[in-house]
Amino acid sequence: MYFVLFIAVLFTVRDGVLGDVYFRRDVLFSADAWRSLLKGFWINIQVFLWAEGIVLVWALVVAIVRLLPHRACAPIRLVATAYCDLFRALPAVLVILIINFGFQRARLPLLENFSTMQYAIMALALVYGAYVAEVYRAGIDSIHPSQTSAARSLGLTYAQTMRHVVVPQAVRRVVPPLLNDFIGLQKDTALIFSIGIFELLSRARFINNAQATFTGYTMAAMLFFIITIPMTRFVERLQRRDQARMRAG
């Protein structure tokens, strides 16, 4: 409703000059433009999927390390905490620039033969890993200690207790905040245009420059809408189904 109103305003203010800027029909209905943008968007989606996959596992590892109980684990607990603090403090775009250009130049062993895209994935995974680790940690903390007592009293080790009892419940509980972060990650894939990857945003800019319009941005925005909004709904449904199953047996 508001969206329609917004469009209406765009088309009426100053004789619809805004409509011309953002919704120029020859660009909006150009198959070539869409083809190019979709090609770019496919790169975003790939980066997103890889980064998300890495984040889901990596963040859980970080969260578990941060919660290791024994005093002997203090040093690596500290490393994990420092990682979270550091990467949550930095703008994602800065991390992308640092990792891409720095690692390329420095020729780090093991890390030198990566493509720009792989550096981009690595950077996004590191940034979002720090956020998601905190989400996991909150989820694990929210599981009542009596669950741990029950599992340990049956002879399960600490690791088995985490693996079979605590983490599965924690993950279910943090699905909504996880989703939040993933929508964020999905959108932040646009930041990789800063290291010269010819993805959606770069292509939108290219179209804008060639056609002297901003319609390319509108089209890019539409593509983001199309993917993120259904994703939200989908995960909500998964969650409801899971709850229904636990309740209804």
**Which residues of this chain interact with other proteins, rule CB under 8 A?**
146-147, 149-157, 160, 164-165, 168-169, 172, 245-249
Residue 149 has which token pair? 């007592």
CB of 154 to other proteins, least distance (A): 4
Burial category of 203 from C-beta neighbours within 10 Å (exposed 0-12, middle 13-18, buried 19 and up): buried
56 contacts: CB under 8 Å, gap ≥ 6: 132
Measured torsion, CA atoms of residues 81, 62, 173, 228, in degrees rounded to the nearest 10: 100
CB of 161 to other proteins, least distance (A): 10
Q: Nearer Cβ to other proteins, position 100 or 161?
A: 161
CB of 153 to other proteins, least distance (A): 5
Q: Nearer Cβ to other proteins, position 92 or 165?
A: 165
Measured torsion, CA atoms of residues 192, 196, 197, 203, in degrees rounded to the nearest 10: 100
Q: Nearer Cβ to other proteins, position 27 or 178?
A: 178
CB of 248 to other proteins, least distance (A): 7
Q: Nearer Cβ to other proteins, position 152 or 205?
A: 152
Other beta carbons within 10 angstroms of residue 124's beta carbon come to 26
CB of 67 to other proteins, least distance (A): 18
Q: Nearer Cβ to other proteins, position 107 or 247?
A: 247
CB of 152 to other proteins, least distance (A): 7
Residue 5 has which token pair? 């109103």
Find, among 19, 36, 94, the residue nearest to 223 by Cα: 36
Task: List Cβ<8 Å contacts ≥24 apart for 223-231.
Answer: 223/37, 223/38, 223/41, 224/186, 224/187, 224/190, 227/45, 227/186, 228/183, 228/186, 228/187, 231/179, 231/182, 231/183, 231/186
Q: Nearer Cβ to other proteins, position 70 or 247?
A: 247
CB of 171 to other proteins, least distance (A): 10
78: helix, strand or coil: helix
- In Å, how far are 44, 52, 101, 105, 112 from 189, measured between CA atoms? 6, 11, 17, 23, 22
Q: Nearer Cβ to other proteins, position 158 or 217?
A: 158
